[in-house]
């Protein structure tokens, strides 16, 4: 690895958001994408938690990559991840208790995210600190983006409102539809339908884009 130029860092960042979007493209770490996304605020905070954990894990692993014995690398990765998840969990319980009451279990389960372990294994353990952090940021922002889109769609259709966080403890609820909304979208079943439809939309846009610019490859 030579010293990375700004251009390749930008590519690396965008890679996590578009080409390898954790939820829409790789279909990994799907549980929270449905579990917490019936409310925009919860979706955003869950996304932020993952963004934080992913970046910090990548940073830590990258710092330690020269002293980790290859044979015991997986337990060490798990230890690092669960350490950062515990920190995130405690911080969220302290600063955003109302969100934590709803998404607490899923915050703990960030430990079991295949995508975080995969980035630590495939990227952070082989690259220096700056690219690793950019990679983690890109993956995290991609995840945040996906959760925001899903929860935006579900809350708007299912309840006719949007809960926008304006600070750690404050929020503003916008009401858009006053008639009966499509209640199923905020129910568990609606989560699957919403993700399925959004995934199809993502695929459709992707195929259109490829058709219009075939020479770029």
Partner 1 sequence: MESEFTKLFELIVSASLINNFVFTRFLGLCIFFGVSKKMETAVGMSITFTAVMMISAAVSWVVFTMVLVPLEITFLEIIVFIGIIAGLVQASDTIMRKTAPGLYYKLGIYLALISTNCIILAVPLVNAGEKYSFIESLAFGFGSGLGFALALVIMASIRERLELAEVPAPFKGLPMAFVITGLIALAFTGFSGLITL
List of residues contacting partner 1 (CB under 8 A): 27-32, 34-35, 74-75, 78-79, 82-83, 85-86, 89-90, 105, 108-109, 111-114, 117, 184, 187-193, 195-197, 199-201, 203-204, 207
Of residues 12 and 29, the one with the C-beta less far from partner 1 = 29
* Residue of 15, 116, 75 lying closest to 124 (CA atoms): 116
User: For residues 11 and 121, which CB has a smaller minimum distance to partner 1 in the complex?
Assistant: 121
CB of 57 to partner 1, least distance (A): 13
Closest separation in Å from C-beta 71 to partner 1: 13
91-98's contacts with Cβ under 8 Å and 24+ in sequence apart are 92/45, 92/49, 95/168, 96/45, 96/168, 96/169, 98/169
In the complex, the smallest distance separating the C-beta of residue 23 from partner 1, rounded to whole angstroms, is 10
Closest contact distance (angstroms) between CB of 151 and partner 1 is 13
Q: Say how far apart CA 170 and CA 172 lie, in whole Å.
A: 7
Q: Using an 8 Å Cβ cutoff, are 41 and 118 in contact? A: no
């Amino acid at each position: 690895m030579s010293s990375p130029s700004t251009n390749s860092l930008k590519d690396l960042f965008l890679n996590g958001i578009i080409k390898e979007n954790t939820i829409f493209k790789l279909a990994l770490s799907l549980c929270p994408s449905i579990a917490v996304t019936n409310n925009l605020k919860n979706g955003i905070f869950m996304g932020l938690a993952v963004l934080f954990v992913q970046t910090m894990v990548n940073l830590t692993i990258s710092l330690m990559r020269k002293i980790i014995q290859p044979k015991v690398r997986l337990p060490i990765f798990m230890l690092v991840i669960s350490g950062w998840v515990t920190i995130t969990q405690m911080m969220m319980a302290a600063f955003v208790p109302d969100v934590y009451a709803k998404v607490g279990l899923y915050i703990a389960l960030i430990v079991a995210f295949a995508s975080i372990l995969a980035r630590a294994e495939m990227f952070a353990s082989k690259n220096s600190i700056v690219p690793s952090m950019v990679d983690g940021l890109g993956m995290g922002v991609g995840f945040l983006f996906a959760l925001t889109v899903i929860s935006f769609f579900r809350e708007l259709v299912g309840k006719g409102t949007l809960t926008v966080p304006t600070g750690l403890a404050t929020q503003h609820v916008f009401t858009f539809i006053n008639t009966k909304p499509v209640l199923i979208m905020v129910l568990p079943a609606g989560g699957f339908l919403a993700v399925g439809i959004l995934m199809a939309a993502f695929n459709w846009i992707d195929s259109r884009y490829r058709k219009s610019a075939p020479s770029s490859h």
